[in-house]
Amino acid sequence: MLELAPVIQVPGTVVSRNDARLASEVAGRLVYVAEVGTHIEAGQPVARIDDRDLELQLQENQSLVAREQSRMGFLRREAERLRKLAAENITAKNRLDEVESDLSVAINDISVAQARLNQIQLQLEKSAIVAPFPGVVTERLRTPGEHTGIGDDIARLVQPDSLEVVARAPLGSIAFVRAGSELPMQSQWHSGMGTVRTIVPFGDGRSHMFELRIDVSPVPWRVGESVRLAVPTAEALEVLAVPRDALVLRRDGATVFRIGSDGVAERVAVEPGLGDGTMIGVTGGLSEGDRVVVRGGERLRPGQSVTILEEPVEVTERTP
């Protein structure tokens, strides 16, 4: 016996969870953009912007910080000297107030100069556009020599080994799918199983479709590949099932050949029902544990002796 449920086929697309258009955070002329197909590790540069102007600004701001620090040091020494004279000299006390005021301004000026220096250092770091995750460059949206502004897209980076399938299923079938459910999926070239990661809890009010996100392994699927998923539309029922290849279809109906203990083939009429991949539910004269012919049944005749070359398939119970 096998638990089977009626299903509908819904289209889906293989996507990468990490698929980003990397943009510039500083303006300037591009001097390097990775070629399409380049594998980039996380933290490695995907593109570089000419940073010579920023280097000059960095040197200028470093000099400003040094100048303000020198001025602050002088004012501190001057204030210390005047404090010794202020106790007995009124003129020195007035001068001390003036120097301490200038010292306070100098300390604030150093803070401003240091902040500007930090800004230039940050811009220098951003002149290299680095990969936030390991991936492959799939598009070059700018080329070396072009001028880019802040926020302009430079390249597209896709991680090929972090995949999932995005599909939309009717509301009526969502009740029979939950996180962790395994769904059969197939493309033009191959097939496999996917595990439902999540059901997005917001649907389209007009189409009554909900989005499914299905985890898949990176092999053999590829980003952008179209697939079809078998989504159940009702609760699974326990049915007697045989391999699809065991069915012999003729104008008068479907049959299978059962092999008795004496090795003689017997034709048994069945009614096909629900299917699940290579298995299909049947009703009729079969019983659980019967041995059936999977291939070559079209050439058999009732009562014909059969020599078993390989162990035949039994109609058995299977837990999905």
Question: What does the block give as tokens for 143?
Answer: 């080329």
> Which pLDDT belongs to residue 90?
62
CA 83 to chain centroid: 68
Q: Which fold has domain 240-314?
A: 2.40.420
Domain residue ranges of the chain, discontinuous segments joined by +: 2-17+162-233, 22-49+128-157, 51-126, 240-314
Q: Which fold has domain 2-17+162-233?
A: Elongation Factor Tu (Ef-tu); domain 3 (2.40.30)
> Which pLDDT belongs to residue 250?
84
Global pTM value: 0.68
Q: Which fold has domain 51-126?
A: Helix Hairpins (1.10.287)
Contacts made by residues 44-48, CB under 8 angstroms, sequence distance 24+: 44/130, 44/131, 45/128, 45/129, 45/130, 45/131, 46/22, 46/129, 46/130, 46/131, 46/137, 46/154, 46/155, 46/157, 47/22, 47/128, 47/129, 47/142, 47/154, 47/155, 48/127, 48/128, 48/129
Task: Identify the burial level of 14 via C-beta atoms within 10 angstroms of its C-beta, where 0-12 means exposed, 13-18 middle and 19 or more buried.
Answer: buried
**Amino acid letter for position 181:** S
User: What does the pLDDT profile of the chain (320 residues) look like in tens digits?
Assistant: 666 777 888 999 999 999 999 999 999 999 999 999 999 999 999 999 999 988 898 899 899 989 888 988 988 888 888 777 776 666 567 787 888 888 888 889 888 989 999 999 999 999 999 999 999 999 999 999 999 999 999 999 999 989 999 999 888 787 888 889 888 899 988 888 899 999 887 777 677 788 999 999 887 888 999 999 988 887 777 778 888 888 888 888 898 889 888 888 888 888 888 776 677 888 888 888 888 888 877 888 888 888 776 655 555 444 44
Contact 141/162 with Cβ under 8 angstroms?
no
Distance CA(49)–CA(51), nearest Å, equals: 6
Q: Which fold has domain 22-49+128-157?
A: OB fold (Dihydrolipoamide Acetyltransferase, E2P) (2.40.50)
